Chain A
């Protein structure tokens, strides 16, 4: 085996030429296009990063705005709730005041109605009592309708003020109404007693009035002296009504 030095030299040159050829036409263009694509990819990535950062910033801004809106909404809601609470309280107080007023009025009306009812009942009771008394007294004998009342009438006239007593009968006969017509002896007794009390004779005009039930009534122009059951019942009824 021998070495062909010409061939060795030529192959050495050939190898150098081939290295240059492939470097010039294969490796350099391909590596350049790879680097160019990488540069573009990096640029795209940088742009994407920038866009992402911008989007993040916008998102943060939107979040802040949303938080601000939420806070504002919460504040508005709180204010509205406070207003509603105050309005509710005012309306409640107003309603309670109205209810209290209505209740007071109702109670007053009820009290008035109750008083009216009681007055009506008292009046009815008084009337009933008067009717009962009248019915009972009408069963008395006729003598009892005037007997005993003459003294009372004379005593009442005696209690009149002196000027009033003095003027009695100055205008003519004094009207006297009796539950039944007085008998002559009863009339004489009445006139005698009055003359004794007044110190002078008093002319009388006696008439019958069954409404008096029992008793007498002196009806002068300046004074009225009642001594009969009708007046007593009326006074009792009035007293009952007044005390109630």
Chain B
């Protein structure tokens, strides 16, 4: 059994070592990109089944962002949607024999959390202005500034560790059971991993939404959903 804490370099591109999580991520990116390209080639007003599923996904995602942030979901949709899809597929990639999910490696989780951290700052400044964003660090008073600054770091770390710990532990448990019990015994645990992977993807995406929304602040004009506008 191979530990997810170990780094296996598959090959090098020049001086750059290419580890297994990077290659799996490339595969996931290729699959998602190809699916997105093919699925959205022939969108029409009268949707096909695939288009209906895609529209349902985007609509639900928008509703979730709107309900959480109380803002127009369009600027946040690519980041939140990508985090959700990538983490979900990366978590479920463990079902393929021989594939280790990239999210079981802390570098992948850290890379995703870095973008959440950057988005928090960018959307915070664009939503409140630089002065307004900086003022959020001294709320409710100056005394709280150190804690607010630490919170920015710690909640990013909490994102990394939560996802990494859950996925990595699942991989560990399945690997240990597989090495001890046999071929079909880990199947219930793998099914549990499916649920855990979905839940962790949702938690990662919704926490990113909450952090970015808190930084950006609420919009005065909340766009109505189609349901509300009726």
Contact = CB atoms under 8 A, between A and B. Distances in A.
Interface of A: 1-4, 6-8, 10-12, 14-23, 25-34, 36-38, 40
A27 B39 CA distance: 11
Interface stretch (B76-84, B92-100, B127-135, B180-188): B76-84
Interface string B1-39: 000010100000000111101100110110011001101
Interface in B64-103: 74, 77-79, 81-82, 85-86, 102
A7 B22 contact: yes
Contacts, number: 119
B45 A11 contact: no
Contacts of B44: 33
Nearest to B108: A11
Contacts of A1: 5, 106
Among B18, B25, B107, chain A packs the most CB atoms within 10 A around the CB of: B107
B17 A6 contact: yes
Contacts of A25: 33, 36-37, 40
A163 to B, nearest CB: 139
B196 to A, nearest CB: 21
Contact-size category for B: 35 or more
Given A3-B107, A7-B22, A30-B40, A18 B82 contact: yes
A26 B85 CA distance: 11
A30 B43 contact: yes
Interface stretch (B52-60, B149-157, B170-178, B197-205): B52-60
B82 A34 contact: no
Contact of B81 (A7, A20, A22): A22
A4 to B, nearest CB: 5
Given A10-B16, A27-B78, 5 more contacts: A10-B22, A11-B110, A22-B78, A23-B78, A37-B45
Closest 9 CB pairs of A and B: A23-B78, A11-B111, A26-B36, A25-B36, A29-B40, A12-B111, A7-B107, A8-B107, A33-B43
